[in-house]
């Protein structure tokens, strides 16, 4: 799931940019969490003090207090790989934006055409760079787990445990349904109330169990059995 921030001192522009981002996410079949700001200092504080993480930030350059240029310069040490799209009325800022390694520069008078293209390109690049990942953030802890490495997820008390190909276990204080929704990926399906499997690691369904590549046998409840078979057949039919 991508984490995206939008910062503009005009609420109307924030809402307009948010609609563009939401539409681009749908077009790219990606899931994103969008945070909005009308005060640049608040965005800077969340990143520098509260360890907020963003993959993509849409920044208005002309803002009171810290300008978009100020924010971009200050957050780079915290988010060195973040993609920033600058939106501005003044073309002369493009040179400075280039020096800050900004992903894209969008003139306000061409926003309707240029902004969707810039956002789509950023989403596609982020997907290519890291593939789909599951991000775990808690306090100062930030961890990204490639979805392709996750074999399955199981319920353990009030936690969800993610098991990868090497047998490593990552525990998060969330329900299975919450993790499933955050993954937002067709590769993951429930096999029963306490288990989610990654289809790409399922070798076969046998005797109400999912046989995984690592040899583990995971339960498939009777109520889920037919649906699991249909989803696995459909997935491989579309991807092979």
Q: What would the pLDDT profile of 134-148 be if each residue is shown by its tens digit?
A: 888 766 667 888 888
Q: How confident is the model at residue 98 (pLDDT cuts 50, 70, 90)?
A: very low
* pLDDT at residue 194, as a whole number: 95
Number of domains into which the chain is organized: 2
pLDDT at 51: 87
**pLDDT surpasses 50 at 29:** yes
pTM: 0.56
Strands in the chain per DSSP E: 2-7, 32-37, 56-60, 83-88, 104-107, 133-138, 141-146, 150-156, 159-164, 169-172, 188-192, 195-198, 202-206, 209-212, 217-219
Own/partner pairs, 222-227, CB within 8 angstroms, 24+ separation: 223/192, 224/190, 224/191, 224/192, 227/189
Band (240; pLDDT cuts 50, 70, 90): very low
Average pLDDT of 174-191? 92
- Whether the pLDDT of residue 96 is over 70: the answer is no
**Lowest-confidence pick of 90-94, 186-190, 204-208, 232-236:** 90-94
**Final residue of a structural domain among 102, 131, 160:** 131
State whether 100 and 34 are in the same domain: yes
Average pLDDT of the segment spanning 201-229: 91
Helices (H), 28-99: 40-48, 68-75, 93-99
Range of the domain at 115: 2-131
Q: Give yes or no: residues 115 and 171 share one domain.
A: no
The answer on 148 and 94 residing in a single domain is: no
Same domain, residue pair 50 and 142: no
User: Are 16 and 111 within one domain?
Assistant: yes
Kindly state whether residues 120 and 35 are assigned to the same domain: yes
Instruction: Please provide the average confidence, as pLDDT, over all residues in the chain.
Output: 88
pLDDT in tens, 104-117: 889 888 999 999 99
The CATH number of the domain where 192 resides is what?
Answer: 2.40.50.1020
159 shares a domain with 223? yes
Q: What is the pLDDT of residues 31-77, one digit of tens each?
A: 899 999 999 999 999 999 988 999 999 999 888 888 888 999 899 88
């Amino acid at each position: 799931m991508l984490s995206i921030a939008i910062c503009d001192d005009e609420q109307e522009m924030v809402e307009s940019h948010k609609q563009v981002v939401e539409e681009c996410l749908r077009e790219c079949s990606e899931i994103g969490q969008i945070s909005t700001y009308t005060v640049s200092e608040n965005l800077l504080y969340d990143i520098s003090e509260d360890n907020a993480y963003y993959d993509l930030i849409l920044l208005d350059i002309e803002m009171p207090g810290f300008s978009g240029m100020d924010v971009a310069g200050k957050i780079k040490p915290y988010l060195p790989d973040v993609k920033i799209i600058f939106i501005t009325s003044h073309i002369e800022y493009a040179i400075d934006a280039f020096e800050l390694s900004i992903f894209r520069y969008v003139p306000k008078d061409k926003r309707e055409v240029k902004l969707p293209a810039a956002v789509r390109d950023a989403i596609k690049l982020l997907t290519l760079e890291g593939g789909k990942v599951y991000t775990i953030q808690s306090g100062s802890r930030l961890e990204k787990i490639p979805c392709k490495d996750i074999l399955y997820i199981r319920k353990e008390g009030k936690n969800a445990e993610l098991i990868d190909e090497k047998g490593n276990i990552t525990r998060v204080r969330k329900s299975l349904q919450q993790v499933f929704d955050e993954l937002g990926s067709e590769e993951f399906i429930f096999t029963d109330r306490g288990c989610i499997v990654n289809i790409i690691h399922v070798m076969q369904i046998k005797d109400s169990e999912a046989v995984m590549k690592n040899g583990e046998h995971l339960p498939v409840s009777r109520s889920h059995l037919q649906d699991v078979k249909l989803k696995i057949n459909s997935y491989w039919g579309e991807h092979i």
